[in-house]
Amino acid sequence: MRIDRVGKIGKTLFVVGLIAALAGVYDVASFAQQTEQKEPVPSPGDQPDDPGPIANDVSPALHARQIRAAMRKVADWQLQVVKVQPPSRDWDYGTLYIGLMAASRTLHDPRYSRYVSSVGEHYNWELTPLRPYAPGNDYAIAQAFLELYRSSHKAEMIAPLRKRFDDSLLVPDDPARPVWWWCDALFMQPAAGTMLSQVTGDPRYTQYIEREWAITEKLLYDPQKHLFSRDATYLDKHEKNGEKVFWSRGNGWVMGGIVRVLSTLPADDPMRAHYIDLLRQMAEEVASIQGSDGLWRPGLLDAESYPLPEISGSAFFTYAIAWGINHHLLDAKVYQPVVDRAWRGMLAHIYQDGRLGCIQPIGAAPGEYKASSSYVFGVGAFLLAGSEMDVLHHRRFW
């Protein structure tokens, strides 16, 4: 399959048509991944004026024991917060659940996976009601359900997901309205498809994923900058310094999505080499713009306009690059210093009670927030990063 599959229409006409189509259905700028659910919707996070002191018991030492201690501190705080709220199955919490599953594996602590399982049982393993304007978001939680299924093999855990995917396979592509019109979707749904193919033996889900990924990449990836625009409305938007707007978390979503797809893609899949090359291109660019504190700003190419680092994007970058090192796809001599600096940088934003700060709230572009800002998806990304940092350093320091 060729990566330039979008049909014969020119990219300019494609973008114009896409924007017009999107505008006819919803306001892209104000969408910001909202939910249509009528069920109780818990808060995904907050940014209090007084979050308390920064933690003094988190060690920057790159030993597996200290990495795990930082993961546990953050995971325990977040688990305590979510357990007193109604459960959620939306994309933001779905990302947290993926991180909690990683924390359970790394920390050998079933409390986190048990909580995720309780959410699935609460909703009878159903995904969020279908959102025609952003169906990819519905699949984030499914990745956690699939991980639970691997250990239990209870068919009911993935039956609703499989039905949702089967229905998607019947919908013909519309080049003017791609299914994944925003780059975040490359984290939300693709890995659910490759994981579903892996556990069912049905290659159609992976084939669907690869087809839709190609359409989105063709639209949003800048082959010169090696970064993704958030959606078509950002293709020609620029920062104060004149550089194109490339959102930290948006590109973090993509890199996280790449490695999660690679982790479940067959070794002989014809698209595997392409995803590896894309990971390498993005990792090289991201490493070149890392801040002196080890972190990245919300606007990747105009760091001076954003005084605070952005932890969710930084955590996804750390996760993806560390995964690449651990799987011998990225040169450890080049990239281990990058992730080591990033991990130490993130630790400086953990508060004494376990809150993880400097996470930009839900949005679609670089924005402002307080140092105390903490949101569940950023915590999920941090736990994923920690799980790979643990693997990276475990063999030397455990």
Residue corresponding to tokens 């159903």: 126
CA distance 182 to 229: 8
Residue tagged active-site, from 90, 92, 109, 184 = 184
Sign, CA dihedral 275-280-281-283, equals: positive
CA distance 118 to 128: 16
Residue corresponding to tokens 């990836």: 221
Beta bridge partners of 374: 46
Cα distances (Å, whole numbers) of residue 268 to 3, 187, 217, 258, 277: 17, 22, 21, 16, 15
Half-sphere exposure of 352 (CA within 13 A, CB side): 6
Cα distances (Å, whole numbers) of residue 172 to 169, 175, 197: 8, 10, 20
Four-CA torsion 61, 62, 63, 69, nearest 10 degrees: 70
Residue 9: which residues within 8 A CB-CB, separation 6 or more? 17, 175
Interhelix angle 272-288/311-326, rounded to 10 degrees, is 130
| Residues 339, 290 contacting (CB under 8 angstroms) | no
Half-sphere exposure of 5 (CA within 13 A, CB side): 13
Whether 268 sits among the annotated catalytic residues: the reply is no
| Residues 248, 297 contacting (CB under 8 angstroms) | yes
Supply the residues annotated as catalytic.
184
